[in-house]
Chains A and B, each alone.
Chain A
Amino acid sequence: MKTATVAFLMFALSLSGIAQTSRRTRTPAARGTRQAIQMVLQPSQSPLVSFRILFNTGSASDPQGKEGVAALTAAMLAQGGSRALTYDQIVTAMYPMATSFDSQIDKEMTVFSGTTHMDNLSNYYQLIQQMLLDPGFREDDFTRLKTDAINFLKVNLRENNDEELGKEELYNMIYANHPYGHQNVGRLSTLDALTLDDVREFYRNNYTQANLVVGLAGNYPANFPQKIRADFMKLPAGKANSVKILQPKLEPGMHIEIVERETRSTAISLGFPISVTRRDPDWPALAIVASYFGEHRSSNSYLYQRLREARGLNYGDYSYIEYFPRGMFQFQPDPNLGRQQQIFQIWIRPVPPNQGMFALRAALYEYNKLVRDGMSQEAFEVTQQYLMKHVNILTQTQDATLGYALDSRYYGIPNFNDYMRQRLSRLTLADVNRAIRKYLKSDDMRIVLITRDGETLRNAIVNNTSSPITYNAPKPQAILDEDKIIQDYRINVRPENVKVVAVDQVFQ
């Protein structure tokens, strides 16, 4: 359902940052080493010119105790002034062009993106290159963006959006004591102490030629890439960010965190790390599984059919093999969230609290069934066919095509659409079921529930209390029979691994 509220809801989730003016001290290395700027160019006849300026750095590069500085730096560049212009002057300059310059931060990637009509290319580029290469780093921008970052965690995530809270906390739980172990915007315990000097230092160390890939698409002049290349040579050469991110080591067994807050429903997220990314030959097979089991926001998937369509438990139920933030606002994922490590994730949208136990059990029951039985030939074929065509929808805009091209470069695979079609066409049911057994079987499930009255839910979980469900309408016998299994389906967790956490402890 779309309403006029969309803009505000999006805002409630948007990230912000912090900024500050720097003296712009360039490291001597900046001029010394000549290094070619990496570019991904997609010339076309489109009158729109799209930029995706990607730095291979992100919140995984936040120094310990300075969590949030990567996001704050990105925000300072995209939502703060340049040295030549204050932020309000930039907004004023972009106003008649209807353009913006946005940042997206993830663990290992920070991307700055914007699209302009070619009428305004020169003016637009002038603004954004100043923002990125010659930032203002002013104190008032810094104060504003730091407050925004704190409120993003404290208000938007903790208090205004149970689903995104659950998903983000699941990542924090899985990646505790790991470079991915804090929300991309930072921690509430560290954000307040960050200074403008921290931002300057992060900028100096991470915004380097070696970490940079410039993506450009549209009907830009032939010599334009050359100009960009020359301009971005102003950045220090630096060294490529080559930190190897390892799979997290989890304590064995299922762990459950119940985040308690005053809310009318119960949101559930569950998952565990997988060792597969797009780089891996088995990724297309797992993409089939995730789509079959829980294609994002689609009624054509298994979990959705069992929980929402057959039982009316909630609004939707999905599964993922890649990070997909802001899922409630969009049908297609954003590109440039490339990671060395991913998780398999199940997202159960909020259910009435008295059905929380049943919904959790149903999710575990269906997951275990998937691992035990795999997919059928028919389900395999139809999902294979779906994905081979659906890749065109993922990349239907120029900006998305460019984003996917940058990601393919990161993962070392060819053009995403060709690669997927080719790989998917070669797969067999046996390949997919082998991938399920190899990657999706885990005894170390991590589960986050957002609910009121956490202790009651905890007791029900640790005592494996029966959770029968009743309906407002007659159901087929097969569903009722299955419900009998689900209502007593054993949640195999040790009591000490089920914790109730007050919401104000999250993101600390």
Chain B
Amino acid sequence: MKTFLVVALLLCIPLLVVSQRQTQRKIFPYSYSIDDLPNGLRLVTVPTDQKNLVALYIVVSTGSRNEIEQGRSGYAHLFEHLMFRGSEHYTPEERDQILKRAGASDNAYTTDDRTVFHEVFSKEDLDSVMRLEADRFQHLKYDQSAYKTETLAVLGEFNKNSSNPFEKLFEVLRETAFKKHTYSHTTMGFLRDVEDMPNQYDYSLQFFNRYYRPEYVTITIVGDVTRQQALDLTKKYFGDWQRGNYVPDIPVEPAQSESRTAHVDWPSPTLPLVAVAFHGPAYSDEQIDKAALDLLAPIAFGENSDLYQRLVLREQKVDFVSPSFDDRMNPELFTVFARVKKPEDVDYVRDQILETFKRFSTELITQKKLDETRSRLRYSTALSLNSNEAIADNLAPYIALRRTPETINKLFDLYDRVTPEDIRAMAQKYFREQSRTIVTLNYKPATGGQTQQ
């Protein structure tokens, strides 16, 4: 008995120390302020001690999820591009010159739920960059010709991605698993819709009018800045922005009633790919469902999982296996992707993944593994907050979801409350055969195409 206790203490103490140290501080360690303007625009300011640089992230809570009309996939992303095509007071060339003189790194990206415009630059240029940004958000101006040219750049982006078979696998997975909800298309959109974009100038104006409104936008400023500075500039340049009134009617995905499969024939040599997905929950910092499955994902399918160690390290049948389960506004797929070394092993690998889903629906994970995973999530977050830009970049998804950094702290409080029983219960709830979709991809020369069942 005594020996057992000693061993137990030896095993547990280091974890307790970690856990105590980690829980004493909030996972998002920076002080921040939130200011709401009467027009619905929100400002989040995060002063840091990294001198000189400022990261400005303008987060629009609009993404490919908002593309509700048939034939209009890809417009949130197209709009990200159009925002660089000039505004009332600045031509694109003038805009480039101002940002160039600021030494800025500037770009933008789009996902299912958000479009993020971001710049990092020297603090003395904050005023001029805010003025510039305010102009394009309120007074974007692009003509038919610029519009059509930009649609070609979007097609160029599609083309550059197209040599990667994973892009196709992902597209078919989405289309197969979602029948109503807009997550059925990728952010890039269907090729047919991208090719039709040049003809849809008027629709693009409508898209801007709907979504580039203050109630959809949160300005996030991180770095060598004070709250007052940030607020004064926001009021000065964004204060007159008119609130909109459009609320999209995002279709609800009906419960899947039977399992689905699809297969992609890929026209050039590649290794086979497998995706196994189940409909999971949406992001929440209050309900335990998503948090429980977040913790399960690395335990069941991560680099340290039994599955990974068997398939990748010991049997060496796959060279990649990984879970993907992003935080989304609406219910998202919990997916496991794998790349298989030999075509004849695809069924085996698929079955091993399925077995693993089943295993965690019945087995309880150990408290030790759960504590280690919580520790991993905490340290992983701490390690990622290593510059003003990185802090803003990490905040952006949460800002799009809940418009406050506090949601990260709430999420990690949830993680601390999750028990092994919760995880098993959520696995039982979500990993059910009728809500499953499996997609495979394999090399098939000559006439390529995709078949679905």
Contact = CB atoms under 8 A, between A and B. Distances in A.
Contacts of B382: 47-48, 117
Interface residues of B, number: 92
Contact of B386 (A263, A349, A397): A397
Interface stretch (A143-151, A244-252, A432-440, A487-495): A143-151
A389 B99 contact: no
Contact of B379 (A9, A98, A309, A352): A98
Interface stretch (B104-112, B252-260, B279-287, B421-429): B104-112
A299 interface: yes
Interface in A383-412: 383, 385-393, 396-399
A472 B148 contact: yes
Contact of A385 (B77, B101, B164): B101
Contacts of B105: 298, 331-332, 390, 393
B165 interface: yes
B437 to A, nearest CB: 15
Given A265-B159, A265-B160, A396-B120, A297 B102 contact: no
Contacts of A308: 153, 156
A120 B379 contact: yes
A311 B372 contact: no
A4 B326 contact: yes
Contacts of A472: 148-149, 151-152, 198
B329 interface: no
Contacts of B80: 1
B261 interface: no
A475 B145 contact: yes
A117 B309 contact: no
B313 A262 contact: no
A37 to B, nearest CB: 26
A409 B419 CA distance: 51
Interface string B246-282: 0000000000000000000001111100000000000
Contacts of A140: 313-314, 316
Interface in B43-73: 50, 52-53
B163 interface: yes
Interface in B314-343: 314, 316, 319-320, 322, 324, 326, 337, 339, 341
B155 to A, nearest CB: 8
Contacts of A12: 164, 166
Contacts of A3: 111-112, 170, 186-188
Given A9-B164, A397-B390, A386 B101 contact: yes
A195 interface: no
A241 interface: no
Nearest to B115: A1
B92 A1 contact: no
Contact of B320 (A11, A262, A350, A475): A11
B316 A147 contact: yes
A350 B100 contact: no
B103 A386 contact: yes
Give the interface residue-count category, chain A: 35 or more
Given A312-B152, A312-B153, A2 B111 contact: yes
Contacts of A7: 322, 324
Contacts of B157: 1, 315
B57 to A, nearest CB: 13
Contacts of B389: 393, 396
Given A95-B376, A96-B375, A396-B50, A314 B156 contact: yes
A97 B304 contact: no
A85 interface: no
Contacts of A109: none
A460 interface: no
Contacts of A315: 153, 156-157, 159-160
Given A386-B103, A392-B103, A314 B386 contact: no
A389 B103 contact: yes
B409 interface: no
Nearest to B390: A397
Interface stretch (A158-166, A227-235, A279-287, A367-375): A158-166
Contacts of A332: 105
Contact of A392 (B53, B100, B198, B314): B53
Nearest to B191: A264
A389 B122 contact: yes
Contacts of B413: none
Contacts of B304: 88, 91-92, 95
B83 to A, nearest CB: 11
A99 B379 contact: yes
B187 A1 contact: yes
A312 B386 contact: no
Given A48-B386, A95-B376, A299-B96, A312 B159 contact: no
A163 B269 CA distance: 17
Contact of B319 (A147, A162, A312, A350): A147
Contacts of A99: 379, 383
Contact of A299 (B84, B122, B314, B379): B84
Contacts of B163: 159-162, 263-265, 350
Residue from A265, A308, A310 whose CB has the most chain B CB atoms within 10 Å: A265
A48 B383 contact: yes
B103 A159 contact: no
B167 interface: yes
Contacts of A16: 319
29 contacts: A1-B80, A1-B110, A5-B167, A7-B322, A9-B166, A16-B319, A47-B382, A96-B379, A98-B380, A98-B383, A115-B383, A116-B383, A155-B270, A159-B268, A162-B163, A262-B267, A298-B106, A299-B84, A309-B92, A312-B148, A312-B150, A314-B159, A314-B160, A349-B156, A351-B159, A396-B53, A396-B388, A473-B144, A474-B145
Interface of A: 1-5, 7-9, 11-12, 16, 47-48, 87-88, 91-92, 95-99, 115-117, 119-120, 140, 143-144, 147-148, 151, 155, 158-163, 261-265, 267, 297-300, 305, 308-315, 328, 331-332, 349-352, 382-383, 385-393, 396-399, 471-475
| 4 A-B pairs with least C-beta separation | A389-B103, A312-B152, A473-B148, A98-B380
Given A97-B376, A351-B159, A475-B145, 20 more contacts: A2-B109, A8-B320, A11-B322, A12-B166, A91-B303, A91-B304, A96-B15, A98-B376, A98-B383, A117-B382, A120-B379, A140-B313, A264-B162, A305-B96, A308-B153, A312-B148, A351-B156, A382-B97, A389-B104, A473-B145
